[in-house]
Amino acid sequence: MEDDAPVIYGLEFQARALTAQTAETESIRFLVGTQSLKYDNQIHIVDFDDENNIINKNVLLHQVGEIWHLSASPADKSVLTTCYSKTSDSKVVTCAAVWRMPKELESGNHESPDDSSSNPQTLELLCHLDNTAHGNMACVLWEPMGDGKRLVSLADNYVQLWDLQGSSNKAVISSSATLEGKGQLKLTSGRWSPHHNCTQVATANDTAIRGWDIRSMSQIYCIENAHGQLVRDLDFNPNKQYYLASCGDDCKVKFWDVRNINEPVKSLEDHSHWVWSVRYNQSHDQLVLTGSSDSRVILSNMVSISSEPFGHLVDEDDLSDQEDNPQEDRRKEPLQDSIIATYEEHEDSVYAVEWSSADPWLFASLSYDGRLVINRVPRALKYQILL
């Protein structure tokens, strides 16, 4: 079987929530949450055996409702959060909770029993992120590289910082901020920056992107009209502390330097419909994945704005030296940005793309019809980056 061939897994349910199991760095593992009105919802634990190119799966029941967002603890393989909708007093509300999966499922490399789907296991509820006062949960973010005890939730127009206490069975709000201003003040997505000692969070609402300092819960920057329509997703460059990617319903993917918010550093228009998801590769930040309602996944090589614009690591001083002495190094032109590949294995809107936390060359994409596709960065490019 050809090395770069995709591997496809069908869930038999509609789905839009996907995450890598962040704390699992040995085996390739993704979690997928379903959206079913008729049946009990589920979380599928998908283990990819890359030597044999096969998928093993285990199923966990999530009986409380349809899953809109999934997030895995950075510190504890068995812990995750879901944002889910339930009907309460005949209106639909979106809640969030912290769960623990059964001990025997917390690590990868499982041979899945043939009857796992007919005999699903249950999740243990650790605690609710109880925000009854603050409307609907859009997403929950874990503190990157943290000890798995701090979370940020985005609900309607509230940004809330939570501390998990004890064995994560109690969640307490330690501080919160309220979104104010004009336009639609409903938070749609966000990311917690791995830089600045993890003190900054970026959020999206309507067409705006805002940065927050979570120590003071104050706004640091606001990109008012970052996109022409709703902003769907954000991601921070793992190596360049001021760089942020965004995507939205204007079909665009934009890259920002938050020190200069007047215009994007770069803008891509390669999708033909809403762009739902954007993700930087955590090891090689020139590799950027996007997923869209045009049913396509695009892998781009954004090398000119990466931490390796010349194909090798460059620090800020090198660049300023070059500016001082421009004629000295004309031949070192930055490499050109390009689309590496367009993946067309989906037939429905691609709501999520995620890189594996165990293998930097492997990623998953999920479309609404419940199709999960696992792909690899083309080998030729992998060796070009490595060598």
Give the global pTM: 0.91
Reduced to 3 states (helix: H, G, I; strand: E, B; else coil), residue 267 is: strand
Q: What pLDDT sits at residue 310?
A: 76
Residues 6+ apart with CB under 8 A from 362: 28, 48, 50, 355, 356, 374, 375, 376, 377
Length of the chain: 387
DSSP state letter for 347: S
Give the Cα-Cα-Cα angle 283, 187, 282 (nearest 5 degrees): 0
Residue 175 tokens, joined: 């501080």
Mean pLDDT computed over every residue of the chain: 90
Look-up: residue for tokens 């589920």? 42
pLDDT in tens, 55-92: 999 999 999 999 999 999 999 999 999 999 988 778 88
Q: What pLDDT sits at residue 3?
A: 66
Least confident of 4-8, 316-320, 372-376: 316-320
Which residue intervals of 187-340 are DSSP H helices?
A: 316-324
Residue 358 tokens, joined: 């165990």
Over residues 284-311, the mean pLDDT reads: 93
